[in-house]
Chains A and B, each alone.
Chain A
Amino acid sequence: MSGLRVLTVDDSRTILAMLHHTLSNAGFQVLQAEDGRQGLEVLKTQPVDVIITDINMPIMDGIEFIKTVRASGQYQSLPILILTTETSQDKRDQGKAAGGTGWIVKPFDPEKLISVIHRVVH
């Protein structure tokens, strides 16, 4: 499973650092972006196997980010995991409606995080 590229998008440096730690320990290559727009920039230049994105972000939030990624044509089968403390059906539905593949609830358990990634990516 090593070498898979995970794009992590979150406006919190703490969360990005934790994701980086957990994911790189599990053998993933970690790409980082601090908001949706930065995330799109990364996608332009880097191949990505799975995206983990926060919802509440400045400039471009997670919902819009997911919609844009899905609408781009190139990434319709790219798994996107929503990373959020917002476990409400409401937010989750919004994320899913936008094209989100699944979700991870913050604060995340490292093992659970990895297993969820394996649920959506080869």
Chain B
Amino acid sequence: MSELDDFKATYFDECTELLSELEEQFAAIEAGERDAGRLNAVFRAIHSIKGGAGAFGFTALVEFAHAYETLLDFVRDGRVELSDEVVTLCIRANDIVADHVNAARVAEALPGDYGAHEKSRFDALCQDEASGVAGPDEDGPIEDFDIDFTPVAVNLETMDSFEDSPLPQDAGVWEIRFTPHQALYARANDPLLLLRELAALGEISVRPVIADIPTLSEFEPFGVYCSWEITLVSQTATQEQIREVFEFVEGDCDISIAQLGAGGPVPLSPGESQAQETDRLDGSLADLLTLADDEIEAAPLDLRESQEEELSDAGFAELAAAMTTPDPAPPAAGEASSPPIASAPAMPASPGSEEASRVGVQSIRVDLEKVDRVVNMVGELVITQSMLTQQMDETLRARYTELVRGLEVLAQTTRGLQDSVMAIRAQPVKSVFSRMPRLVRELAAKTGKTIRLETIGENTEIDKTIIEQLSDPLTHMIRNSADHGIETPEKRAAAGKPKTGTIRLSAEQAGGNILIVIEDDGGGINREKVLQVARDKGIVAPDTQLTDEQIDQLIFAPGFSTADAVSDISGRGVGMDVVLSNIKKIGGSVHVRSWPGRGTRMTLRLPLTLAVLDVMLVRVSGSPYVVPLSSIVETIQCSRAPFERVPSGGRVLQVRGEYVQVVDLAQRFGMPSNAEPDARFVVLCEAEGETKIALVVDDIIGQQQVVIKSLEENFERVEGIAGGTILGDGNVALIVDVQGLRANLHHKNAA
């Protein structure tokens, strides 16, 4: 059934959110924030997971969640203390719930005793504190759940069963006496509806009992004076069914149910037996009853045939008329708590529109594909707009001022539109970060280390596509930190460090980039060993001298791994080079910095969005190239650039006392440059790690925005080129890979 699959998909989506909420809450709880709000949030999350699981019949999940929820309820109201031990148990329980959810998702059964140990600990904890007290809901046994529930289309026609219930031939006869209290009306229950439901059980006749109605002078308009005697004739109705009709009003009325010829009345609630005379009926109430009759005209019973119809006395006729307009309810309403009927919520005159039913929803779920389509079109729009702006030369500007103004407004609006569209795709990095605590716990357990994970800035927003691509690299880097970075507790103690190692995962926005930093307070990178391995593997030429920083970066070199024995955690043959290539694929870069004995910091620099890039358009050998604006520090005319020759034959540029490597793009890409050397420009770019690179180009054309197109998808990977783009005039421009050029520089030096 496809609806069921849809519901399941919704449920699993929701579970993913709830589980990450749990991670988040417990991270704070572990850090000592044990307030009621968090505990309530945790309780609700487990409660919701259980609720949905019940609907789909995920019995194992329901049972585990139920036991866990019971413990949480005890913790919530203080019956069980939230000790560190209980926190640890809960965190473990969250993982088990997650496993159950996953098992349900892929329709695989977990071992029957999965989580049994934790479950027995829940039970033990709750038993100790309050033996004999049932679970949070006092739900009773789980088996009570109607777990075979299958959402089905409900056909209302068949629901109005009283419409076609046959008149029983030799039916049971029930006498029901029903005296509502004011509370019944205060809670918006309606005797007419109860009678109607009763009518669905069989044939009924209703006699109002009006003995308590005072004289007009004492009559209170909203007083409750009326009760009813009902005779129900039904072959099949049971006492349970009759009681069920009055289920909601139990305590808010006096009711007695008796089967004729089967002993005395069965009182449902304390209250004196109603012994009113039925022959004192007033005509006005008969009128009321007639109205009630209209309401239940579908019932087999025609009330007009009943004896009350014959009675007539106009005593309350006017009152009745007033009370039955516009809503033909029985004389109801509590004195203080019920409003005049006239102010009852108006029934909709006509069915509202679809949009109306959407009001109140604070968010909508949209297919990502649709958003992407909008993003792409906005991208193209941005380009068309910049193309139009480009076409405006001075003559045109002077001649068509109105047009120019319009284009300026268009540029502004386009920019705003683009920002808004990007914001739709932006999501907090929380969704990735929240998967990491479990990873760290598992790594700690596997390696026998004690590791604490700190997360900072998890609400930082970034493009959804980037977030999706972030999970693997982050996982790998954290594995690396836990496996290679953090030392064993003994080693740490010997080095005078706290036994518990810390991995800090943080995210922040820095200009047009998002920085994600993974820091650990472990041993740092063993540079000697790294250099040795790099030389052994031929990654670095034997006689090359590298700076410490350059050595650190070697861990991202393809095929590099320093672990003597490949551990099953981080050394899977694919190493940090995969991290680098994944991050590059989403337009980011990685930089590592290490302090021996103190730790390692890996910084991921990611673009805010993948779709559009602010660039500087330059010309090299007559072809357009673009350089990401975010990496440009400044531009200098070659005639004023203080170049210096170095002994190896290369050129460097001296910028404020710093020597910067110079890359002539024409030379680098093997093309002749016929530009006058002094007329050329230097584009000073900042690469990762605050190091710079000076690109020499023939000319600077201007700034604009471009939509990035993958070169690998459309052509093939080219060293030094990060991608391509189509310019407003239809030409293709290549995007210079600043980081790649710099990395390549090292290789060249090394070779």
Contacts and interface: CB of A to CB of B under 8 A. Distances in A.
B360 A31 contact: yes
B54 A32 contact: no
Contacts of B7: 14, 17-18, 21
B362 A34 contact: yes
B600 to A, nearest CB: 39
A25 B152 CA distance: 9
Interface string A41-67: 110011111000000111000000000
Nearest to A38: B360
B337 interface: yes
Interface string B330-362: 000100011101011111101110001111111
Interface in B181-234: 185-190, 192-194, 196-197
B188 A18 contact: no
A106 B153 contact: no
Contacts of A46: 352, 356, 359-360
Interface string B243-285: 0010110010000000000000000000000000000000000
Contact of A106 (B10, B51, B356): B51
Contacts of B152: 110
A118 B154 contact: no
B159 interface: yes
A119 B197 contact: yes
Interface in A46-102: 46-49, 56-58, 70, 73-80, 84-91, 96, 99-102
Contacts of A96: 187, 251
Most buried by A among B41, B193, B248: B248
A122 B190 contact: yes
B146 A109 contact: yes
Contacts of A27: 156
Interface string B288-330: 0000000100000000000000000000000000000001000
Interface residues of B, number: 72
A107 B145 contact: yes
Interface residues of A, number: 71
Contacts of B10: 13-14, 17
Given A29-B351, A34-B362, A76 B188 contact: yes
A101 B359 contact: no
B154 A111 contact: yes
Interface string A1-29: 11101010001111101100110011101
Contacts of A26: 154, 156, 159
B149 interface: yes
Given A3-B348, A74-B345, A115 B159 contact: yes
A1 B156 contact: yes
A120 B154 contact: no
A25 B153 contact: yes
Given A13-B13, A31-B359, A47 B3 contact: no
Contacts of A38: 360-362
12 contacts: A13-B10, A18-B55, A29-B357, A32-B360, A49-B347, A75-B345, A77-B344, A85-B50, A102-B248, A103-B248, A111-B154, A120-B193
Given A38-B360, A46-B360, A85-B50, 17 more contacts: A11-B48, A15-B51, A26-B154, A32-B360, A32-B361, A33-B360, A56-B44, A79-B190, A80-B187, A86-B138, A87-B139, A106-B51, A107-B55, A110-B154, A118-B196, A120-B189, A122-B193
Interface of A: 1-3, 5, 7, 11-15, 17-18, 21-22, 25-27, 29-34, 38-39, 41-42, 45-49, 56-58, 70, 73-80, 84-91, 96, 99-103, 106-111, 114-115, 118-122
Interface of B: 3, 6-7, 10-11, 13-14, 40-41, 43-44, 47-48, 50-52, 54-55, 136-140, 144-147, 149, 151-154, 156, 159, 185-190, 192-194, 196-197, 245, 247-248, 251, 295, 327, 333, 337-339, 341, 343-348, 350-352, 356-362
